[in-house]
C-alpha cells in the first residue's frame, strides 16, 4: 500500500469511486481510495439503481443530468456494462396542487434544455397501461429516467480511475485522521499510515464516524428503506418494450420493471431512522429484517394504483439503510474550519447524483471552485449550531416528505423552534408567523386578528396577503420595525484590515464613519457574495451579508487570509442583533431615542455611527433594504429587548408597526433590489446582475476576480437582469419561470412577487442584452399559463432616491 498520496478518499461506494474517477479525469493521478471491506459495501450494493433528473433546484437537476449522461462514457472507457435502461419516467399528479408543482418544474426545464412533457391522464394510460388513472389529474414525462446495475456502475468508475493511474486499497480500515501543521493529513489505517495532502470523506453510512475522527459533526442520518421485487408478471414480460418508471407521490411509491416483473419502493410515513447513534463498523453487506407493517398502507395504495401488483407474488424484499442530510441534498465541499478536508457525503440518490458530485468535488479541489453554483449541496450550508438532536427529526421529516408537494411558501415544522432571538416570545404574543433560516426563527408576517396562525402552503397568493399588505403600507406611509438578527455579520480588525478588504472585495472600502456596497468575486468573476462594508474606525470594519451563507463566507475569508497578515476575522452574526426602522417617520423615531444628532445633514445616507439608544450601545447605519428612508440598528443580544421597548414606546404615535420578511420581499421589489441566492449567486457575474456598478475600477488593488470582471466589462455581458410588470391573475413569479419572446424561451426569472405599494405583480429575470429596451413585451410562463409582461427600468417607488437619500 502507498505511504504517501496527493488525495486519500475514504469510502468505496459509488460516490467515492466517482470522486476517484473525476480526479483522474481532470489530471490528478496520485490518488488513493481506501475501503474497509469491498467496493459497494454499505448502501450502494442494495440500491434500487434508479436515476432521474427531476429536482426542485435547477443546479441539482443539472448535476443529475450530467450524471445520467456520464454512464455511456464510462462504458466506452472501460468496456464494462453499467446495465443502462433508459425507459423514461412518469410522475403522477393526483391533486391540482401536485399538478401545479409539475407544471412549475416543466417550466424550469424549458430554459434548462430538458425535454420533459406534461401528460394528460389518457396519455399516461397510453404509455403506462398498468396505471389506474382514476383520480389522476395529469403527469410529467422525462425521457431520461431509467435504471442501471449499481454494482457494475460502481466498478466501472473504479476501473476507469485505475486505468488513469489511481490506486484502490480494499479491506483497509481507517482508524484515525490527524492533521499536520502544514494542512496535510496522516490517515492511520490497520495496514499502516498514509500521508495525504487532501482527505475526502466519502464514508456513506460511516461518514459521521469518519468525520468525528477529524473533530467535525456532519449532519446526516441513515434511514431504513424498503422495496419489493415481484415474481414474473405476464403483462410485463409480454410487452414489446420495457415498462417506464412511474413515481406515484400520492402513494409514496416508485415503480419500475425488474426483469420479468416489477420493483416497487416506498417512502412510507411510519419510517425508521437507523443507527441513530452511529453505524456499526461490522455492518456492510447485510440487509435489515423485513418490516411489512411499515408499508402496509403504502402497499394497499399501490394495489389500487397498480392493480396488477395484487396478483403478483413477491420474489424478494430489499430492506437496507441509506443516508440523508436534513434537506435531502448531499453534503459536498471543503469542510469549514479544516484545511484540505473534503466532504462527499449524504448522497441519498447516488446513481442520480454521484457523477455530478464527483465532478463538482474534483473541480473544487483542482481549480479552487466548481464550474456551477454548489450552494444547494455545499456542506457549509449547515453551521456549527447543527446537532444530532436537530438532524434526526429533520431527516425523518425529509424522508416522509420525499414525494410531497413542495410549495414555495411552505415552512416545515420539524425541529422547531430551535434557535430563537430575545424577541421570540414577544413576537409570538403578537401573532407572529415564523419562518426558519439557518435554524433561526424569523418572522414572516404578523397574522391579523381572526386570521389563522399559519400561512397556507400554496403556489398562488396565500392567506397572508392582507396582513403583508398592511405591513408594507405601514412602512411606506409611516414607519415599520423589523429584526436584523438574520444578517450574517463579521468583524474585521487589524492594521492591515483595509488592505485585505481591498483585495477580497471588488468595491470601494469606505472611510471611517461611512459604508459601501460591494460584490465579492471568484477568480472567474462569478459572485461569492454581496456585502455592506461599514468602517467603524480605521482598522475596524463590520461586514454584513446573508445570514444563511455565513459559514460559506467565513470559509472563503479564511481561505484567502495569510496567517501573518495582521488581520482578524470574527463571525459576530449572533452577537450583533437589533432592528431596522424604515419609512417617512423613521428619522423622527430615531431622534426621540438618542441624544446623537440624526438630522439629514449630520447623519447622511450611507453613514455609520456608534450611538447610545436608551441605555444600549448601538451601531447605526443609514441604509435600508426596503428602499425607504431607514436605519439598521445593531446592539448586543442582552440589550435587544430594552431597545425594542424604547423604540416602540417612542413610536407609538408615529404609526410604528412591526413587519416581517414577506413584507420585506415585497418592499425590495418596489426598487428592483436583488436578493442573495436569487438575483445574486455564484451562477452569475457582477456585470450580468448589475452589481458591477459597485466595483471600484479605479482602485489600484488587484482584487480577486479583477481580470475576469474587466474582461467582461470590455466585451459586455450577454444577458442582464431586468424587471417586469406581469399581468398575473392569482399566482406570481417565484423563480426559474421561463421568459418567452417571439415564441422562444430567451431567459428565466430569478424571483418575483407582488408589490403591495404599487399594486402590481413584479418579476426579475435575465434577458439577452441586445433585446433589452423599456416597454419590451414578453410572456412569462407561470404554472403553465403564459402571462404578458412588460420590461421597465425606473423603480416603482422613490425613482430619484429623494426619500431614501434625503
C-alpha cell of residue 46: 442494495
User: 676 by DSSP, 3-state: which?
Assistant: strand
Strand partners, 760: 755
% residues pLDDT > 90 (the chain): 90
Q: How confident is the model at residue 43 (pLDDT cuts 50, 70, 90)?
A: confident
The average pLDDT across 352-379 equals 94
pLDDT exceeds cutoff 80 at 625 = yes
C-alpha cell of residue 17: 469511486
Cα(213)–Cα(456) distance, integer angstroms? 44
Cα(32)–Cα(42) distance, integer angstroms? 19
pLDDT exceeds cutoff 80 at 471 = yes
Q: Is the dihedral of CA 570, 571, 573, 574 positive or negative?
A: negative
The residue ranking higher by pLDDT, 564 or 28, is 28
pLDDT exceeds cutoff 90 at 60 = no
Residue 486 burial by Cβ neighbours in a 10 Å radius (0-12, 13-18, 19+)? buried
Architecture of the domain whose range is 487-571:
2-Layer Sandwich (3.30)
Residue (of 260, 262, 255) closest to 232 by Cα position? 260
* Pairing assessment for the beta strands 4-10 and 192-201 based on DSSP bridges: parallel
Cα(703)–Cα(533) distance, integer angstroms? 15
Residue 260 burial by Cβ neighbours in a 10 Å radius (0-12, 13-18, 19+)? middle
pLDDT digits (tens, 9 = 90+) for 412-468: 999 999 999 999 999 999 999 999 999 999 999 999 999 999 999 999 999 999 999
Strand partners, 253: 248, 266
**Mean pLDDT estimate for the chain:** 95
Cα(517)–Cα(543) distance, integer angstroms? 10
- Residue 257 near residue 264, CB atoms below 8 Å: no
Identical fold for domains 487-571 and 718-803, yes or no, is no
Cα(255)–Cα(349) distance, integer angstroms? 16
Element (H, E) at 661: helix 661-671
Cα(429)–Cα(769) distance, integer angstroms? 49
Predicted pLDDT at 108: 86
Upper half-sphere CA count for residue 676 (Cβ side, 13 Å): 23
566 backbone φψ class: left, alpha, beta (φ>0; ψ -120 to 50) = left
Cα(519)–Cα(517) distance, integer angstroms? 7
- Residue 438 near residue 548, CB atoms below 8 Å: yes
The residue ranking higher by pLDDT, 48 or 279, is 279
Q: Is the dihedral of CA 376, 379, 382, 386 positive or negative?
A: positive
| Cis bond before residue 8 (omega within 30° of 0) | no
Cα(94)–Cα(85) distance, integer angstroms? 27
pLDDT exceeds cutoff 80 at 54 = no
Measured from the Cβ of residue 286, the count of other Cβ atoms closer than 10 Å reads 11
Residue (of 502, 483, 484) closest to 492 by Cα position? 502
pLDDT digits (tens, 9 = 90+) for 522-561: 999 999 999 999 999 999 999 999 999 999 999 999 999 9
pLDDT exceeds cutoff 80 at 89 = yes
The average pLDDT across 50-55 equals 81
Cα(341)–Cα(200) distance, integer angstroms? 6
Name the phi and psi angles at 537, rounded to 5. Answer: -165, 165
Measured from the Cβ of residue 255, the count of other Cβ atoms closer than 10 Å reads 29
User: 275 by DSSP, 3-state: which?
Assistant: coil
Cα(498)–Cα(500) distance, integer angstroms? 5
- Residue 445 near residue 663, CB atoms below 8 Å: yes
Predicted pLDDT at 717: 97
**Contacts with 653 (C-beta within 8 Å, 6 or more apart), sequence order:** none
Upper half-sphere CA count for residue 650 (Cβ side, 13 Å): 22
The average pLDDT across 597-608 equals 98
Element (H, E) at 685: none
pLDDT exceeds cutoff 90 at 1 = no
- Residue 432 near residue 661, CB atoms below 8 Å: no
pLDDT digits (tens, 9 = 90+) for 181-234: 999 999 999 999 999 999 999 999 999 999 999 999 999 999 999 999 999 999
Domain residue ranges of the chain, discontinuous segments joined by +: 487-571, 718-803
**Contacts with 337 (C-beta within 8 Å, 6 or more apart), sequence order:** 216, 555
Give CA angle at 140 (138, 144), nearest 5°.
155
Nearest-10 Cα torsion for 496, 499, 501, 504 = -120
Q: How confident is the model at residue 21 (pLDDT cuts 50, 70, 90)?
A: very high
- Please name the fold of domain 718-803: Elongation Factor Tu (Ef-tu); domain 3 (2.40.30)
Q: Can you give the three-state secondary structure of 379-407, one letter per residue?
A: HHHCCCCCCHHHHHHHHHHHHHCCCCCCC
Name the phi and psi angles at 619, rounded to 5. Answer: -105, 125
pLDDT digits (tens, 9 = 90+) for 773-798: 999 999 999 998 999 999 999 999 99
Cα(628)–Cα(710) distance, integer angstroms? 32
From residue 3, how far is each of 30, 248, 308, 556, 606 by CA, in Å?
12, 50, 57, 31, 57
Q: How confident is the model at residue 602 (pLDDT cuts 50, 70, 90)?
A: very high
Q: Is the dihedral of CA 261, 266, 271, 273 positive or negative?
A: positive
Amino acid at each position: 500500500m502507498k505511504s504517501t498520496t496527493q488525495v486519500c478518499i475514504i469510502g468505496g461506494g459509488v460516490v467515492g469511486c466517482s470522486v476517484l474517477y473525476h480526479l483522474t479525469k481532470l489530471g490528478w493521478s496520485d490518488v488513493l481510495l481506501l475501503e474497509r471491506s469491498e467496493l459497494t459495501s454499505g448502501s450502494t450494493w442494495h440500491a434500487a439503481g434508479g436515476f432521474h433528473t427531476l429536482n426542485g433546484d435547477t443546479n441539482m437537476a443539472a448535476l443529475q443530468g450530467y450524471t445520467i449522461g456520464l454512464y455511456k462514457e464510462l462504458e466506452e472507457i472501460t468496456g464494462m456494462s453499467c446495465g443502462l435502461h433508459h425507459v423514461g419516467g412518469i410522475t403522477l399528479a393526483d391533486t391540482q396542487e401536485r399538478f401545479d408543482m409539475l407544471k412549475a418544474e416543466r417550466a424550469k426545464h424549458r430554459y434548462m434544455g430538458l425535454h420533459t412533457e406534461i401528460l394528460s391522464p389518457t396519455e399516461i394510460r397510453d404509455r403506462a397501461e398498468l396505471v389506474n388513472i382514476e383520480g389522476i389529474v395529469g403527469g410529467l414525462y422525462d425521457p431520461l429516467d431509467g435504471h442501471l446495475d449499481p454494482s457494475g456502475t460502481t466498478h466501472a468508475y473504479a476501473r476507469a480511475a485505475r486505468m488513469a493511474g489511481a490506486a484502490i486499497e480494499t479491506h483497509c480500515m481507517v482508524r484515525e485522521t490527524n492533521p499536520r501543521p502544514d494542512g496535510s493529513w496522516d490517515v492511520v489505517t490497520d495496514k499502516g499510515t498514509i500521508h495525504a495532502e487532501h482527505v475526502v470523506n466519502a464514508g456513506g453510512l460511516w461518514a459521521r464516524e469518519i468525520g468525528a475522527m477529524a473533530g467535525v459533526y456532519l449532519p446526516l442520518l441513515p434511514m431504513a428503506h424498503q422495496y419489493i421485487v415481484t415474481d414474473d408478471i405476464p403483462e410485463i414480460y409480454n410487452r414489446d418494450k420495457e415498462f417506464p418508471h412511474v413515481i406515484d407521490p400520492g402513494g409514496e411509491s416508485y415503480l419500475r420493471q425488474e426483469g420479468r416483473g416489477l420493483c416497487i419502493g416506498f417512502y412510507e410515513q411510519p419510517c425508521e431512522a437507523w443507527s441513530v447513534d452511529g453505524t456499526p463498523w461490522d455492518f456492510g453487506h447485510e440487509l435489515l429484517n423485513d418490516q411489512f407493517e411499515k408499508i402496509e398502507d403504502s402497499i394497499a395504495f399501490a394495489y389500487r394504483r397498480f392493480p396488477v401488483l395484487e396478483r403478483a407474488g413477491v420474489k424478494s424484499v430489499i430492506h437496507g439503510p441509506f443516508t440523508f442530510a436534513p434537506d435531502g441534498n448531499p453534503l459536498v465541499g471543503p469542510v469549514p474550519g479544516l484545511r484540505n478536508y473534503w466532504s462527499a457525503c449524504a448522497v441519498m440518490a447516488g446513481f442520480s447524483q454521484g457523477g455530478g458530485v464527483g465532478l463538482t468535488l474534483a473541480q473544487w479541489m483542482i481549480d479552487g471552485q466548481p464550474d456551477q453554483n454548489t450552494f444547494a449541496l455545499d456542506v457549509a450550508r449547515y453551521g456549527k449550531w447543527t446537532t444530532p438532536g436537530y438532524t434526526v427529526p429533520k431527516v425523518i421529516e425529509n424522508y416522509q416528505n420525499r414525494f410531497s408537494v413542495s410549495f414555495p411558501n411552505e415552512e416545515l415544522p420539524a425541529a422547531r423552534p430551535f434557535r430563537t432571538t430575545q424577541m421570540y416570545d414577544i413576537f409570538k404574543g403578537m401573532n407572529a408567523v415564523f419562518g426558519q433560516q439557518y435554524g433561526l426563527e424569523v418572522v414572516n408576517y404578523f397574522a391579523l386578528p381572526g386570521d389563522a396562525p399559519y400561512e397556507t402552503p400554496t403556489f398562488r397568493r396565500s392567506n397572508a396577503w392582507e396582513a403583508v399588505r398592511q405591513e408594507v403600507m405601514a412602512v411606506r406611509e409611516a414607519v415599520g420595525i423589523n429584526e436584523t438578527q438574520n444578517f450574517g455579520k463579521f468583524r474585521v480588525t487589524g492594521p492591515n484590515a483595509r488592505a485585505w478588504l481591498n483585495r477580497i472585495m471588488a468595491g470601494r472600502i469606505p472611510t471611517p464613519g461611512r459604508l459601501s456596497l460591494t460584490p465579492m468575486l471568484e477568480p472567474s468573476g462569478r459572485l461569492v457574495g454581496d456585502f455592506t462594508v461599514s468602517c467603524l474606525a480605521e482598522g475596524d470594519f463590520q461586514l454584513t451579508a446573508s445570514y444563511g451563507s455565513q459559514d460559506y463566507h467565513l470559509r472563503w475569508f479564511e481561505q484567502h487570509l495569510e496567517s501573518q497578515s495582521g488581520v482578524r476575522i470574527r463571525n459576530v452574526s449572533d452577537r450583533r442583533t437589533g432592528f431596522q426602522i424604515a419609512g417617512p417617520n423613521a428619522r423622527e423615531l430615531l431622534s426621540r431615542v438618542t441624544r446623537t444628532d440624526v438630522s439629514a445633514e449630520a447623519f447622511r445616507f450611507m453613514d455609520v455611527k456608534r450611538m447610545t439608544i436608551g441605555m444600549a450601545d448601538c451601531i447605526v447605519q443609514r441604509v435600508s433594504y426596503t428602499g425607504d428612508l431607514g436605519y439598521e440598528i445593531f446592539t448586543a443580544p442582552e440589550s435587544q429587548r430594552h431597545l425594542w421597548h424604547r423604540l416602540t414606546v417612542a413610536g407609538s404615535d408615529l404609526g410604528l408597526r412591526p413587519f416581517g420578511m414577506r413584507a420585506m420581499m415585497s418592499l425590495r421589489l418596489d426598487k428592483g433590489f436583488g436578493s442573495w441566492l436569487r438575483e445574486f449567486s455564484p451562477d452569475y457575474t457582477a456585470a450580468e446582475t448589475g452589481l458591477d456598478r459597485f466595483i471600484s475600477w479605479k482602485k489600484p488593488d488587484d482584487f480577486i476576480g479583477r481580470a475576469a470582471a474587466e474582461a467582461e466589462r470590455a466585451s459586455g455581458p450577454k444577458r442582464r437582469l431586468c424587471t417586469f410588470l406581469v399581468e398575473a391573475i392569482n399566482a406570481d413569479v417565484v423563480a426559474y419561470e421561463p421568459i418567452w419572446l417571439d415564441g422562444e424561451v430567451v431567459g428565466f426569472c430569478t424571483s418575483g412577487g407582488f408589490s403591495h405599494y404599487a399594486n402590481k405583480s413584479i418579476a426579475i429575470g435575465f434577458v439577452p442584452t441586445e433585446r433589452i429596451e423599456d416597454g419590451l413585451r414578453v410572456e412569462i410562463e407561470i404554472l403553465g399559463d403564459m402571462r404578458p409582461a412588460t420590461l421597465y427600468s425606473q423603480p416603482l417607488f422613490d425613482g430619484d432616491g429623494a426619500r431614501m437619500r434625503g
